[in-house]
Amino acid sequence: MSEDTFLFIDGASFRRLLDSTRGVYGLGDNFDIDYTKLVNSKIRRAFFYDAYPIQKRNQTDAQYEAEYKKTVDYFNLIGSTSNFHVRHGESRFRKKRGSEQKAVDIMLALDAYRHASKENMDRIILVTNDLDFCPLFEALLETRVRTELWYEKSKTSSLLIDAADHTVEINEAYLTRFFPNNVAPQFIVSLGPAPEGPMLQEMGLLQEISIKNEPFRLYRDDRNKNFVGVYITSQNRQSVRSKNFHTVRLWSEIEWNISLSDLDVPENTQF
């Protein structure tokens, strides 16, 4: 028997990650993911919550109109995706905190709890870094709905992480799985046992660092045009490979829960 899963996206958190992803991969301000890949056979409905911008004090009317139109186009893009629904609220400006969303978080929480109470879903996936959603997870514990949190490790409180039944750490590399097909091939990730012997000798070692007294090595495989990250522990040897250096680095952080901040970006990292 299949289960009904609903996806709820905190637009503010998601847009920050998307902007960072564009910067990491040099994709430009107009690049976007393929939202049809977010709604698959396991996710029946998806809801995106965000707010229209307000005019900032240093913005001209023309600049604000351009920003507003860009937001409208963005909402229309998401809303035109099958089984995707956009819920939008307002923004307001505070002197010390700048522009912030108003009522959007409450709207998401109420919608999620209402669907849970009506037993419309068996599982909820919430994409957010915002600790304000902790009471929502606690309230959902009183329903039969299982909860899952997609979060960025560096931006999320452990209190929110602990509140969910299941968690998935995401970062810029995680979003590559939702790239359009004409962009995705460059970022395809392959995980598996680490190559040994002659295979390693044929690859160029770019850098080696020690992580908890275990070696992590970054290779450049010119024959297959891949970057290969190899992590060797006392239990096993693992590898991750991609045509994109940043994807290898970021996927390694997720796959092995290690920080590779000391890994320098070598010259000519792209094939």
27 by DSSP, 3-state: which?
coil
For residue 121, count CB atoms less than 10 angstroms from its CB and return exposed for 0-12, middle for 13-18, buried for 19 or more.
buried
Residues with Cβ within 8 Å of 221's Cβ and at least 6 positions away in sequence, in order, are: 202, 203, 227, 228, 241
- pLDDT of amino acid 98: 47
- Contact predicate 147/135, CB 8 Å: no
- pLDDT of amino acid 206: 87
Residues with Cβ within 8 Å of 87's Cβ and at least 6 positions away in sequence, in order, are: 47, 48, 49, 50, 104, 107, 108, 111
Residues of the chain with pLDDT under 50: 97-98
Q: Computed from CA positions of residues 233, 238, 244, 250, in that sequence, does the dihedral angle turn out positive or negative?
A: negative
- pLDDT of amino acid 72: 94
Sheet holding 214-221, edge to edge: 190-193, 237-242, 226-232, 214-221, 204-211
- pLDDT of amino acid 40: 80
Residues with Cβ within 8 Å of 159's Cβ and at least 6 positions away in sequence, in order, are: 131, 134
